Structure formats: structure tokens, C-alpha cells
Amino acid sequence: MSPRAAWPLQRLHYLAYDYTGGKADWLAGGLPTERQPGGKPRALEAAERNPPTCRPDETLGVVAARAGPVSVVVLNDAGVVLGLLTHDELPGHPAATAEETMQPGPPTVRAQEPLEPLLDRMRKHNRTEIIVTTPEGALLGVVAPG
């Protein structure tokens, strides 16, 4: 089970186990690869690699002060994506925590995702951004065409 999927269970005191990856996980994790010249662009290549982030226990007042053009990604201490705070949620009550306000389990894609079909899906579903993660759920970046 991935750490992202395991986190809610661990908070309820269940045991969860990790898996060992292979070649597909290497690609999905955004690790270096050799490609043919002129290869099609991938999601990670278009991603903002340092989007604004916060911990689940931070208040909206603190988080809003460092928000940028993309939404704020909520991460646990291991860097695993837990949720997303969009610009609609940030103006909420300043004392509310990110965990209380976030959209839990936001949609994610892997680093090797072909970029053009991803952008087409985003347009079709009216998504302005999508999170790129490793198979373990660790943040790699945010694709926000615009």
C-alpha cells in the first residue's frame, strides 16, 4: 500500500505495509532516464517543482500569507500529499487548520505521464492544475498550464 493511501489508516492506528517498486516505479518517480531526442514531453517536465506547501496542522492565516499562483499542497512530515487548499478555501477562517479545510486525496498523476493527453484531460474536466507525485505519494510538482 502506498504511504498516501496508508496515512488515513495509520491515523486510525491500523498497520500498513509498503511495497517495493520496479522499472515502472522508477519512471513514475521522476528519476533520471535516457530518451530518444524529440521524445514527447512528460508531466514532470511541465510541473512547477516548488509549489507552495503546508503541514496539516498549520492555520489558514499562516498558509494564506505564502500562497502563490497555484494552490497550496498539504503534506505530511514525509512529504506525502494529503490534500489541496485552493484559492477558494484559503480565505476561510484564519484559525482553521489546513486539515480541516483541505480537499482530501486530490487527483494526482505520475511523472512519466505524457503531457499532451494530460492537458487534454485537464481541459475536459475543467482542472486548472494537477499534482505530480511519486508512486508513494510524495510531491514532485504541480502542472498548472496557463
As a residue count, the chain comes to 146
Q: pLDDT (tens digit, 9 = 90+) per residue, 16-68? A: 766 666 766 666 777 666 666 667 888 999 999 999 999 999 999 999 888 87
Domain limits for position 25: 3-143
The side-by-side arrangement of strands in the sheet containing 130-133 is: 108-110, 130-133, 139-143
**What is the arithmetic mean of pLDDT over 94-120?**
93
Q: pLDDT (tens digit, 9 = 90+) per residue, 60-93? A: 999 988 887 779 999 999 999 999 998 888 787 8
Residue with cell 503531457: 115
**Which pLDDT value is given to residue 5?**
74
Residue 62 cell numbers, joined: 499562516
Question: Looking at the 3D structure of the chain, how many domains does it have?
Answer: 1
Q: Please report, for the domain that includes residue 103, its CATH number.
A: 3.10.580.10
